[in-house]
Homo-oligomer: A and B are copies of this chain.
Amino acid sequence: MNRDRGGPGLHGVPGGATQTPSRPEQLLFLTDEQLRQGIELLFFAYRDFTSDPDAVLAERGYGRAHHRAIHFIKRRPGITVAGLLDILGVTKQSLNRVLRQLIEDDLVVQTTGQADRRQRHLNLTPKGEELERSLSAPQRERLRRAFSEAGPDAVAGFRKVLERMIDEGGRDAVLSLVGREGR
C-alpha cells in the first residue's frame, strides 16, 4: 500500500485577493528551529490523521485514492470527471481505474450530463454515502476532540494558518470550494 499523496494540482490563476489581515502584518521573529518544529508537527499530526481511514479502507481492499475520490464526490455531488481530476491533481488514467472499481462496487453512479452530454456527473449511492461516513467519522472525531481541547481561539488560529499555507495562486478557488462559514 502506498502512503504517499499530494502532487501539484489545482493551479489556478494568480489573481490574489488578500484576506484583510486582522493585524497590520506584524513581522514575527521566527527561528529556523521553530519552523522546523512546525514542519514536524505537521508531519506527525497528518500521519496519525490519515491513519484513521486507512484502517477502514484496508478492510475493503481500497486505498487512499478511493478515499479521496469518495470524499470529493460527497463534497461536490454531481461533479464531473474533469472536475474531480482538477481537484485531485492526478491523471485521467489513474482516476479512471479507481472510479471503475467504485462504480462496479455500487458506491458511485454516473449520470450523463443534461446540458453537456459528454460529461458524466458523479454521485454517491446510499452504499457510497455509508462508506464515506465510516471513513470520515474517525477523522471528524479526532478533529472534534482536538478542537474541543484546544478551544475556539486555537481553532480559529489553526484555520488561519492552514489557509495561508495554501498556494496563493489557487487559494481563493480552494477556499471557496472548502467553504468559509466557520470564519
Chain A residues near B (Cβ < 8 Å): 1, 3-10, 21-23, 25-28, 30, 32-51, 54-55, 58, 63-64, 68, 71, 75, 89, 136, 139-140, 142-167, 174, 177-179, 181-182
Q: Could you say which residues of chain B place their CB within 8 Å of the CB of A38? A: 143, 147, 158-159
Q: Indicate whether A153 sits within 8 Å of B144 (C-beta atoms), given known contacts A162-B41, A165-B45.
A: no
Whether the Cβ atoms of A6 and B148 lie closer than 8 Å is no
Closest B residue, CB atoms, query A139: B39
Q: What are 25 pairs between A and B in contact, CB < 8 Å?
A: A6-B50, A9-B47, A25-B149, A30-B144, A35-B144, A37-B181, A38-B143, A39-B140, A40-B177, A40-B178, A41-B159, A42-B46, A42-B49, A43-B68, A45-B162, A45-B163, A46-B46, A48-B166, A48-B167, A142-B165, A146-B164, A147-B161, A150-B164, A157-B160, A158-B162
With A6-B54, A26-B152 given, name 7 new contacts (CB 8 A): A22-B151, A25-B149, A27-B148, A40-B177, A45-B165, A146-B161, A151-B157
Known: A6-B47, A152-B26, A157-B155. A37 touches B146 (CB 8 A): no
Interface of A is mostly: helix
When the two chains form their complex, are residues A140 and B47 in contact, meaning their CB atoms are under 8 A apart? no
Closest Cβ of chain B: how far from A121's Cβ, in Å?
Answer: 21
Chain B min CB distance to A160 (Å): 4
